[in-house]
Amino acid sequence: MKEKGAKMGRKPVLAPFVFLKMAKRFQILWLILLLTAPVLLWLLPGDTFDNTGITLCPSKALFGMECLGCGMTRAVMHFHHFQFAAAFQFNKGVVVAYSTLVVVWGIWVRQAANKLRLW
C-alpha cells in the first residue's frame, strides 16, 4: 500500500522544513543588515541631514516649538562621525541616545548570531 501523498512517484511536501530554511535565510539577512548599517552610515558625510529644509517634528511644525528630540538625528549622525562639538550643538541628549542605540544594536546582533548559532 502506498503512502498518502506519494501517488504517482511524487514525494510529500515538507512545508515545515522549507519554512525553517526561509527563517534561517531571514536571520542571515538580518545579521548582515545589522552589521553593515553602521558602516554605511560612516560612509555618508557627517552633515548629510543638516540644512535639508524639511521639518519632520510635529511639535515644531504645528506649534513652532522644539521638542526634546529636535535635532537628534543630526546629533547622532555627527556623534557617529566623532564630531562631538557639532553633535552637542544640535542636541545635548545625544550621549544618552547614542549610548542606547549602541546597546540595542549590540543586543540585536548578539540575538541574531545566537539564533544562527554563531557563538
Q: What is the CA radius of gyration of the chain?
A: 23
CB–CB of 69/53 below 8 Å?
no
Mean pLDDT by 10 residues, the chain (119 residues): 55 58 84 92 84 76 84 91 94 96 94 85
- Write down the pTM of the prediction: 0.70
Helices 94-115 and 72-80 pack at an angle, to 10 degrees, of: 70
